[in-house]
Amino acid sequence: MQINPSILSADFANLEAELMSIASADMAHVDVMDNHFVPNLTLGTAIVERLAKVSPIPLDVHLMIEHPDKWAIGYAQAGASSVTFHLEAATEPIDLARRLRAAGVKAAVAIKPATKVSDIAHLIQEVDMLLVMTVEPGFGGQPILVETLEKIAQARQLIEGSGARVALQVDGGVTESNIAQLASLGADSFVAGSAIYNSPDRANQILRLRGLALAASNPK
């Protein structure tokens, strides 16, 4: 069970310190938005490169941008350990996944709430992780969309049926109150922003979220 705090909820004036405060997490989730694919603008390759140099944990870069076929490799070269692109934005997703892997990073594909899990079936053998968005991408702090929950179970079924070793990540509205349910549906990687960064003890909160997910995935 991986807990990947989203630095979208961090203090952007103190990102090095904010990364240090989540050193007990598995990866730092870095949201890259271009104000075209989603209605928000965050950061680019230059900042990711600097973050990679100071982060105590690997970077899980989530590209919410147009034309990832053109830009994704730059984030691998900037120091990301995992690069996620959106199925809805990629022109040649299989080729992009293969190029990311060839660049030495994990390749991941994300789907928005309205995209069917079946649309990703042809890619499942080509990626290391599938990200199911449980909110509309663009802004942190949104409540989870209940209608996306069934997609987590569908995604787990797809992964198990393929025989591939693929992580199943959920991103959007993950909290203490729902992480157990998400884990029971089949998720094993969790992006949490405000649920961690709003806590006065982030290390303990990471531990608590991981424990809740583990307990739900291994019921007695």
Active site residues: 31, 171
Q: What angle do CA 2, 74, 172 make, to 5 degrees?
A: 35
Q: Any residues with CB less than 8 A from the CB of 43 and at least 6 apart, and which? A: 30, 32
Backbone angle region of 163, left / alpha / beta, with phi > 0 → left and psi within -120 to 50 → alpha:
left
Q: Biggest alpha carbon distance in the chain? A: 47
What DSSP letter does each residue of 122-148 carry, written as one string? GGGGG-SEEEEESS-TT-SSPPP-GGG
